[in-house]
Structure 1
Amino acid sequence: MIEQVATAFERKDYHTAAKLLKQLLKETPDNPWVQFYLARLHEASGKRQDAEEIYRQLLRDTTNTKIVVQARESLRRLQEIEQEERIRAISQATAQASDTKLGVLVLEPLASELKTVAAGKFAQIMQLDAYTARLILPSRGWRLYRTGQVGELRFYGEQLQQAGIPCFWTTIADIQKIQVFQVDYFQENTSKVTVVCRNEANQLGSLTFDWSEVKARVLGLLPIFEQVVDIDARRKLERKTQTQDYVQFCDLHLTDRNCILRLYDNGYEFQQGLEIISQVSQNTIRINWNSLLHWLEQQMPQVKVWSDFTHFADTVLDQTEMLSQIQSHVHLFRREQTNWDSAFHLYSGLVFVKGVMDSGL
């Protein structure tokens, strides 16, 4: 009867092949030829995943040379079909000019107990092996996974979301649209709060808002590098770049106004404006800054604090080409160019954009 099944497939008479296989599956379900033609039937019916599973099982369990050869050819054919469909889909996803803008795809953390199942799905979607996929999926904090045309990133992102893998994507242009004001000091805190700040053209002004407008608070440490002279193992002098200190940043997100208020410890004028901290002149910058953060926490205890920037930076600092297109809005004196400043603005901008997505604005 197997010969009849083979003949039916040659004629592409899948109805007859299905009837014959139904009987054979009752009589000899473990026969490798029966399993092979069952996989062929799944393939013809568009159930390619079911077909692939059987072909792979035959490669593991069968010693029949003819079946092994045909199973390998079938797997190769499935992969070629999938690749062609993927190329067509990505081409359609990037057909519009807006779909070709530079974007980023960010993976959100998964609970450890979910990673095994998720890794298999992630591997299939992104065409990776399961071990690599599991290493890529984050357990804590965000991971910048891929940059490229936003249409292509959306194509992958939608599949990942459907598979239960949390992620989001956006364009660099959307992040660059966010206005950033550098805060000099808080001036008033009555029914509303006022900050004295500078816009992107360094023009001094003020902005009045309500604490309820703040939708997120982002904290981050940016390293300060210095050239130092050290002695190497051969007792020779060598110049090295070392981290000498860190500058602390705090962004307040006013989502409805599409702006970020940016504060940092060396830039905030503690002796000006609202008296938040007593004995300012006798305190160190670190003490003053910690007191300011504590005061901010008291004003808006319900606002979520994002403080995982350093972990995120580890996944993005080598993306020099992409980061070079981001205006950092970080005004620190740098002897040499560094990706840290743009990475922080990217992180804060992603928090901002994700907040807008989640609120449905």
Structure 2
Amino acid sequence: MLEQVATAFERKDYSTAARLLKQLLKESPENPWVQFYVGRLHEVSGKRQNAERIYRQLLRDTTNTKILMQARQSLQRLQDIEQEEKQRAIAKATSEPNNAELGILVLEPISNELKGKVAKKFSQIMQIDAYTARLVLPSRSWKLYRTGQVGELKYYGQQLQQAGISCFWATIAEIQKIQVFQVKHFVESGTHATVVCRNQANQIGSLTFEWSEVKAQVVGLLPIFEEVVDVDARRKLIRKTQTQDYAQFCDLHLPSRHCILRLYDGGYEFQQGIEIAPQASKNTIRINWNSLVDWLQQQLPQVQVWSDFTPFAETILDQTEMLGNIQSYIHLFRRERTNWDPAFHLYSGLVFLQLT
């Protein structure tokens, strides 16, 4: 009867093959050839996961060299079909002009308890080994996983989300559309607040808003680099760049106005406007800044503070080409360009897009 099954498959007479296999499963359910043809029936019926499971079971449990060869060929065939379908889907996803824009795919943190469960799914979708997948999945904060055409990233992102792996994608163009105002100082605060600020064209003016419009605070430290003289192992003087200090930043997000109010410790005029830090002229910048942060917290007690910039930045600092496409709107004095500045604007921008 197995020969009849094989003939039916050759003729693509799958209804006859199914009828014969139904009888064989009653008579010889453990026969590896019966199992193989059941796998083939699943395959031609579009039930590829069931077929793959049977082929892999045969590889584990069977010693018949002919069946082993057939199972391996069948698995390769399934992989080729999946790869072809994926390439067609990606080509379709990137065919529209908007989907060809530069974008990023970001993974959200996963608890260590869940990593083992989703790592296998992640490895299958991204075609990497399970061990690497477990290492890639973040547990602390967002992690930039891939850059490229946003259509392709959306394709992978949707597959990951369907597998229960939290992620999101965005284009660099979306982030660059967000307006950024550099806050000089507050001049009024009540139900409404008014700030003196500079826009992206470096024009100074004022902006009045309601505190209820602020939907997020994003804080972060940006390193300040200086060139210093040091002594190497041979007692020779060398010049090298070291982190000497950190500039503290705080972004207030107003998604209804599609803008960010950006404050930083070296640019805020503590002696102007309303008194936030008593004796501001006598205090250190750190004391004045801490007073400003506390004051903002009093105005925005229910607003989430996003403070995971540094671990996120550590995943993207080597992405020089991508970060080079981002205008940071950070005006620290720099002897050389650093990727920390666009990394902060990217992080803040991604938070902003999650709110809209």
Return the TM-score normalized by structure 2. Answer: 0.98
Bigger Cα displacement from structure 2, 164-173 vs 174-183: 164-173
Partners of 1:234 and 1:38 in 2: how far apart?
73
Q: SS at the partner of 1:118?
A: helix
Q: SS at the partner of 1:201?
A: coil
**Residue equivalent to 1:359:** none
CA RMSD of aligned residues (A): 1.1
For residues 124-174 of structure 1, give each alpha carbon's deviation from its aligned partner in whole angstroms, at most 9, with x where no partner exists: 111111111111111121111111111111111111111111111111000
List alignment gaps of at least 5 residues for structure 2. Answer: none
User: Does the aligned pair in 1 maintain the 2:191–2:211 contact within 8 Å?
Assistant: no
Partners of 1:10 and 1:244 in 2: how far apart?
74
Partners of 1:259 and 1:107 in 2: how far apart?
25
Q: SS at the partner of 1:329?
A: coil
For residues 94-140 of structure 1, give each alpha carbon's deviation from its aligned partner in whole angstroms, at most 9, with x where no partner exists: 11111101111111112222222211111111111111111111112
Partners of 2:225 and 2:27 in 1: how far apart?
75
Partners of 2:88 and 2:114 in 1: how far apart?
31
| 2:224 is equivalent to residue 224 of structure 1 | yes
List alignment gaps of at least 5 residues for structure 1. Answer: 357-361
- Say how many residue pairs are matched: 356
Letter in 2 for 1:348: S
Partners of 2:99 and 2:53 in 1: how far apart?
35
Letter in 1 for 2:276: I
Partners of 2:109 and 2:259 in 1: how far apart?
27
Partners of 2:111 and 2:171 in 1: how far apart?
27
Partners of 1:144 and 1:107 in 2: how far apart?
6
Letter in 1 for 2:282: Q
Partners of 1:230 and 1:23 in 2: how far apart?
83
Partners of 1:190 and 1:83 in 2: how far apart?
59
Identity rate of aligned residues, in percent?
Answer: 75
Partners of 2:22 and 2:84 in 1: how far apart?
32
Partners of 1:2 and 1:305 in 2: how far apart?
67
Q: SS at the partner of 2:215?
A: strand
User: Does the aligned pair in 1 maintain the 2:181–2:259 contact within 8 Å?
Assistant: yes
**Residue equivalent to 1:73:** 73
Partners of 1:136 and 1:62 in 2: how far apart?
35
**Residue equivalent to 2:199:** 199
**Residue equivalent to 1:143:** 143
Letter in 2 for 1:324: G
| 2:102 is equivalent to residue 99 of structure 1 | no
Return the TM-score normalized by structure 1. Answer: 0.96
Letter in 1 for 2:313: A
